[in-house]
Amino acid sequence: MMWQSYSNGLLVAIGLIMAIGAQNAFVLAQSLRREHHLPVAALCIVCDALLVAAGVFGLATLLAQSPTLLAIARWGGAAFLIWYGSQALLRAARPQSLQAAGSEPRSLRAVLLAALAVTLLNPHVYLDTVLLIGSLGAQQPEPGAYAAGAASASFLWFSTLALGAAWLAPWLARPLTWRLIDLGVAAMMFTVAAQLILGAL
């Protein structure tokens, strides 16, 4: 049960994190320039872990007290995962590339403040980490293992971007790479949605 919860957290979180977005573009840009890229990646990892923990353990308490809320979270989460997987399939049909724009060198403080803004001022981060990942984690047999899996996904992805940006850049600039990533994301989302639905039947 613990490993299933861990793998569910890992799969859901990596599927959400890998989608092209401002945070990924920012981390990649800093990494390609080798400008405070490790502190930026660490900041993103810590923010994700804290938001996931708040969602999983805060929502777990609420859901445990209300079977109605648990049912809403289960079916709502499954519906969202199916929708998100469908969006990934649509993106795979018209793939993009992840590009990093150049800029003048900045101080560590300025870069970290920009990273915080990109991370915390984006409403999707709360929908993804607190509500979606949190509500799914609250239903797991081992919520702590699920949260650890989600945090591991963040650690793996941002560490890879930070440490492997120079090697990854040519691949991330290819639409085919993102087509394959989106197909993988869709498979992850549909798999976890199926587990939620089967668990309710």
pLDDT at 40 (0 to 100): 94
* DSSP summary character for residue 121: S
pTM: 0.69
Confidence of residue 64 (pLDDT cuts 50, 70, 90): low
Expressed as residue numbers, the domain containing 67 is 2-200
Query: Who wins on pLDDT, 118 or 105?
Result: 118
Q: How many independent structural domains does the chain possess? A: 1
Q: What is the pLDDT of residues 25-52, one digit of tens each?
A: 778 778 877 789 899 999 999 998 998 8
The pLDDT of residue 153 is 93
Q: Distance between CA 201 and CA 197 in Å, rounded?
A: 7
Confidence check: pLDDT of 12 > 90:
no
Number of H helices, E strands in the chain: 9, 0
Which of the pair, 132 or 86, is modelled with greater confidence?
A: 86
Backbone angles phi, psi at 162, to 5 degrees: -70, -45
Q: Residue 97 phi/psi, 5° resolution?
A: -130, 160
More confident residue, 86 or 31: 86
User: In the predicted model, is pLDDT for residue 188 greater than 80?
Assistant: no
Question: Do 138 and 8 form a contact (C-beta atoms < 8 A)?
Answer: no
Please give the single-letter amino acid code of residue 117: A
- pLDDT tens for each residue of 115-165: 898 888 766 677 677 777 887 887 788 888 999 999 999 999 999 888 887
6/91: higher pLDDT: 6
Higher pLDDT, 29 or 97: 29
